[in-house]
Amino acid sequence: MHRSAPRLSRILACAAVPVMLVVAGCSSDSGDKKESGSSESSVSPSASKKAEPTVEPAKFAALPDPCKSITKKTVTSLVPSAKSKNGTAAKSSDITSRAGCSWNGLDDNGVKGSQYRWLDVGFTRFESDQALGSGAKRAQQDFAKQVDKAKATEGAKKVVETPAAGIGDQASTIAYDLSKTGEDFKYVTVVTRTENVVITLTYNGAGYAGAKTPSAGDIMKGAEKAAREAVAAVAAGTDSGDKSGSATPDEKATDKADDPKSSDGKTDDDQSDDTKKSTDKKKTSAHKSSVRTAG
């Protein structure tokens, strides 16, 4: 009986050890879960705040009418005998993103030969896209592509690229010679970007029937002038002039002052006396217009 008592104590003591360990283990697991839970709760709010950065919205949401982006006064100057002063619009499935217009004509000077001119302007607008970037950034990429494309014109000779200042946010002129229809043409392409819009304008000319080839300087000057007007038209959100194509009130005043048909400076009696003459002039003008149209 005395020996069994100590043995029983040892057995009970040993049995108590696993219980303590189990309790300690449970207590430790409980603590780990709490710490893990608290860690997750502290990270989640900060992670939810890290949203993807939004791209800058595109500045221009539309394009101007391409056939009105260059004033009629400039068109008349650059393409003296244009088949259509209103231009020929390029086909487009979405004129808010892509649009263009062109003018061409042959100024026949009889035995002195003829001068041919061609002017073309194209607009491409880019929207901001979360995956592709801002409209301005996408336009910068297209600007580089259009410059490379102009420089790689098939058959082009003496290609010279020059940065152009004061035309949009960035601009380059690409001048080159090109022979076609048996004549030597002078070409200038102006590629310019204004915010999220890329403008590609090409102006070229040649002399026919013994007429002199236009100078590279004149073609360059004309192309840059037209490109500036196209950029201004984008900035204005409409065409660059009024319905008649005049760019500014100052130009209207200048045109009126230079117009020999202007009645400025005449008295009421003078204007009354000229009524019949004016009517005759209009009839003559209409006849000439119909002849040109038929041709």
Residue 1 belongs to some domain of the structure: no
- Give the tens place of pLDDT for each residue, 156-174: 999 999 999 999 999 999 9
Tell me which DSSP letter residue 55 carries: P
pLDDT of residue 37: 47
With residue 206 as reference, give the H or E element that holds it. Answer: strand 197-208
One-letter amino acid at 227 equals: A
pLDDT of residue 44: 53
Residue 48 belongs to some domain of the structure: no
Token code pair at residue 134:
């801002």
Sorted by sequence, the CB contacts under 8 Å of residue 64 that are 6+ apart come out as: 123, 233, 234, 236, 237, 238, 239, 240
Sorted by sequence, the CB contacts under 8 Å of residue 264 that are 6+ apart come out as: 256, 257
Q: What is the pTM for the complete model shown?
A: 0.66
* Total domains present in the chain: 1
pLDDT of residue 286: 38
pLDDT of residue 111: 82
CA distance 59 to 179: 40
| 3-state per-residue secondary structure call for 71-135 | CHHHHHHHCCCECCCCCEECCCCCCCCEEEEEEEEEEECHHHCEEEEEEEEEEEECCCECCCECH
pLDDT of residue 181: 86
Q: Tally helices (H) and strands (E) across the chain.
A: 7, 7
Residue by residue, pLDDT tens for the chain (295 residues) are 455 555 545 544 544 554 444 444 444 444 444 454 444 445 555 555 566 678 899 999 999 999 999 999 999 999 999 999 999 999 999 999 999 999 999 999 888 899 999 999 999 999 999 999 999 999 999 999 999 999 999 999 999 999 999 999 999 999 999 999 889 999 999 999 999 999 999 999 999 998 999 999 999 999 999 999 999 999 997 544 444 333 333 333 333 333 333 333 343 344 334 444 444 444 334 333 333 333 3
Q: How far is CA 176 from the centre of its chain?
A: 23
Range of the domain at 126: 66-242
pLDDT of residue 293: 34
CB-based burial label for 153 (10 Å; 0-12, 13-18, 19+): middle
pLDDT of residue 197: 98
Residue 37 belongs to some domain of the structure: no
Residue 206 belongs to some domain of the structure: yes
Residue 185 belongs to some domain of the structure: yes
Torsion of CA 246, 249, 250, 254, to 10 degrees: 60
Residue 100 belongs to some domain of the structure: yes
Question: Which CATH number characterizes residue 149's domain?
Answer: 3.40.1000
Residue 194 belongs to some domain of the structure: yes
Residue 44 belongs to some domain of the structure: no
Token code pair at residue 158:
């003496």
